[in-house]
Amino acid sequence: MKSPTSSTPVVRSEYRQAFASDGTPFNPEQDFWSFRTLSAAVNIDFTLLREGASGVLIDSLKRSMRTMVATRNLNTSGAAFRQFRNLVLFAHQRRDGQVEEIDAEDVAHWCARGNVAHLAQLRILAETWRTLNLPGILPETHDFMAQIRVPPKNDKEAVRTWNPDAGAYRPAEDAALKAALDAAFNSGHPSSTKSTRDWRDSGGLFESFQWVGRQHAEVS
């Protein structure tokens, strides 16, 4: 006698679960991934690229992003995705057609449009892409991105032009601060005879820094 068999077909789920770096589960087969960090929500939406990018390019992007989401900070991953998405949309407009590969000229034009400051975020994704040996970004593009030097911000140039090992101040500024501190100690501000705790509790710390600030301005 044969054992009875069920006529109900077995339904196998196509859901392929993956986990983000913070342990959040997500389905990498879907076109929309959403995560919540302490600072903000991180949304990675591939549907925005369906019109402008080829299926091969999107598939490579998904595989790269899956690796990044699983191994890197989620905010970093989200920022890298946004910059690559912007690059693809820009390349789509420039070519007036679907983007199958990102070449060096795409990156050059994208940087020329004021995006060079975001190149570091793009490089993170490109490095993962190259490590996985995926199609979609030409080898010349990787080499080109590695050769681009991002100019320093103006607020850092003063420090960069001086030897950082010698200190954050230029020699004239450093000498002025030393002179002001020497004068402060010689005049009893701050007093070397009182204990640090007593001097701090009596408000001497605040008064002395006010005095040193005035002396620094006078010496300068």
Q: What is the pTM of this model?
A: 0.63
* Residues 220, 217: Cα–Cα separation, whole Å: 5
pLDDT of 47: 96
* Residues 180, 129: Cα–Cα separation, whole Å: 55
pLDDT of 26: 95
Instruction: Look up tokens 């940087």; give the residue.
Output: 111
* Residues 109, 126: Cα–Cα separation, whole Å: 17
Digit-by-digit pLDDT tens for the chain (220 residues) are 444 444 444 434 445 789 999 999 999 999 999 999 888 899 999 999 999 999 999 999 999 999 999 999 999 999 999 999 999 999 999 988 899 999 999 999 999 998 998 999 999 999 999 999 999 999 999 999 998 877 666 545 544 454 545 555 556 555 665 666 566 556 654 444 444 444 444 444 444 444 444 544 454 4
The length of the chain in residues reads 220
Count the Cβ atoms, other than its own, within 10 Å of residue 88.
Answer: 24
pLDDT of 12: 42
Angle at 132 between CA 135 and CA 148, to 5 degrees: 75
* Residues 77, 189: Cα–Cα separation, whole Å: 51
pLDDT of 205: 42
pLDDT of 193: 43
